[in-house]
Amino acid sequence: MEAVFWCCLAFGALTAVVTLVFGDSLGGAADGLFGWLSIDVHHLFQPVVLSGAVTVFGGTGLLLHRYSGLPGPGVYAASAATAAVIGTGVYFLYVRPMRGSENSTGYSMSELAGKRAEVLTPIPASGCGEVLVRVGAGNVNHVAASFDGEEVPAGTPVVVVEVKEGTLYVSRMD
């Protein structure tokens, strides 16, 4: 019995180290593995959750075997229950929040209303120019027209008032 728990503890610890080093690659490889499931349970089978549960199973089993008066099946059952609780906790407290925190470079044109920008190409009173808008971690250039109907020289800080038909209507910052 003790050998099973030692193997689980060692395997879990080794898997945790491998997951730490190669976690993104392993997680990406496992993405298609559970694609046939119609429910969202496959996210529970992330390498970090599985390695954590196996490690907890082995460690809890060793402790209960040595320091409790539980019979063999009781030690296995208590170890498995503890591993399930800890594995679920790791998923809900670490893995799931981290999945939602990924950054995206995508944006919608409608999100640009209210953003600050800088005029790159002068905007004539009744025509279009170009502005540089900071979006996320990068900058994007867009066609812009004056919202107030006045000329805006290059280098002027502006704010995007509205977006219509792919054109940003901007006004000088005051």
Q: For 102-152, how does the pLDDT look when each residue is reduced to its tens digit (9 = 90+)?
A: 666 677 888 889 999 999 999 999 999 999 998 877 889 999 999 999 999
| pLDDT tens column, 33-64 | 555 544 455 666 777 788 888 899 999 999 99
Element spanning 59, H or E: helix 47-67
Residue 1: band (very low, low, confident or very high) from pLDDT cuts 50, 70, 90 = confident
Burial label, 3 (beta-carbon count in 10 A; 0-12, 13-18, 19+): exposed
Domains of the chain (ranges; CATH) run: 2-99 (no CATH), 109-172 (2.40.50.140)
